[in-house]
Amino acid sequence: MAFALSNMQLHSPAFAAGTAIPRQFTGEGDDVSPALSWQDAPEGTKGFAVICHDPDAPLVQNGTYGFVHWVLYNLPASTSSLDENSGEGTSGLNDFGKKGYGGPMPPDAHGLHHYYFWVLALDKATDLPEGLSLPELLKQVEPHLIGMNRLIGTYQRD
């Protein structure tokens, strides 16, 4: 991912930065995406994408590291929030092999994992097909990335 951290801020009413993601948003709970909101998108933003990634996962696959939990794109520039279990945008393929959100579910006794929720601001609106993997999405949007930021939550299985 291109380095384009910006002043854009990403928040969730479900959890604060660096704190535990509630069980309902995990594979052990309801497995629904948490509500997110962002502000201060860079000038010239024409669209957004959202990603959730666990770099602590022990798997190496698809030429990347970690585990992808959510790939969401084709969000218009007018979007500044997503409701819990949102149906907005276009769903990509997560590393569970499914479209949409797949919540945290680290291996038993694997300890605390960190989940990076990213919002990417793009200088071009997108109309990409459903089901793109993270590498496929990044190939399309990285040249148009003008800002991004993250919200990090944690989860550990009981």
- Residue 7 has phi, psi (to 5 degrees) of -80, -5
Round to whole Å and give the CA distance between 99 and 77: 23
Q: Give the burial string for 2-14 (b: 16+ CB within 10 Å, else e).
A: eeeebebebbbeb
Provide the token pair at 46: 């024409």
For the domain covering 9-157, report its CATH number.
3.90.280.10
What is the mean predicted confidence (pLDDT) over 28-34? Answer: 97
Q: What angle do CA 106, 108, 113 make, to 5 degrees?
A: 35
User: What's the pLDDT score for residue 62?
Assistant: 55
Confidence of residue 61 (pLDDT cuts 50, 70, 90): low
Residue-wise pLDDT tens digits, 105-139: 988 888 999 999 999 999 999 999 999 999 999 99
Measure Cα distances from 101 to 42, 45, 72, 115 in Å.
26, 24, 8, 13
User: What's the pLDDT score for residue 49?
Assistant: 98
Find tokens 């951290």 and name the residue: 5
Round to whole Å and give the CA distance between 94 and 53: 9
Q: Using DSSP, state whether 75 is helix, strand or coil.
A: strand
Q: Is the pTM of this model over 0.85?
A: yes
Bridge partner list, 75: 48
Round to whole Å and give the CA distance between 113 and 67: 11
